[in-house]
Structure 1
Amino acid sequence: MITCVVDYTIDPSKIAAFEEFARRWIDLVNRNGGTHHGYFLPAEGASDKALALFSFPSLAAYEAYRELFGRDPEFIAADAVRDDSSCVVRYSRTFMRPLLPPDAAP
């Protein structure tokens, strides 16, 4: 299993647009071979940080999902929410592997 952690810097005045962007990507990841663990948004005080975590069974499965970027109309529409609203200032991706409790299934 591989987990992608996306670290976002967002425009706090455009949180509603970011939430719409996030909802679309949760659905797209889940429908295209991954498991989305959610977006984590600012809860208290002023903050411009958000995180997303989602997993795929393998790097090859993640790469198959990435093949849809810029080609699939739903992927293009989801990115348009981000681009048209400028709700994301910048982001970076890190790939990690989970270390789970012995009784947890990956």
Structure 2
Amino acid sequence: MRDAQTFIYLDFIGIELYAKSKKNPNWSEFQFIGTVIDETKYTLRVKNEDHSKIYIKDQYMFRSWIDQPNGIKKMIEFDGTKIKGNPENRIKLIRKKNRRKLH
């Protein structure tokens, strides 16, 4: 289950994303870019209809919707620099955060 606190630490494969470029003024609004099909340390490969494109994480702001337990969808907006790194390493950070809360 994905929630707002742990969303940026999880794997993004299968998530539909909207993006806004930080550097290109033509991308002033969020645009639907597609569904993530692969993720590396610095990039996201996104498939939209019949083609795929690679987005460099730290050059974009991203937005996605997640389902809440009460059936309502919640919008999450995050900077691409926060998701830089391998997904398996980000998942380990969740465990570290939870251990810190226990003490």
Both proteins in one fold, TM over 0.5:
no
Whichever structure has more helix as a proportion of its residues is 1
- What TM-score results when the alignment is normalised by the length of structure 2? 0.25
Whichever structure has more strand as a proportion of its residues is 2
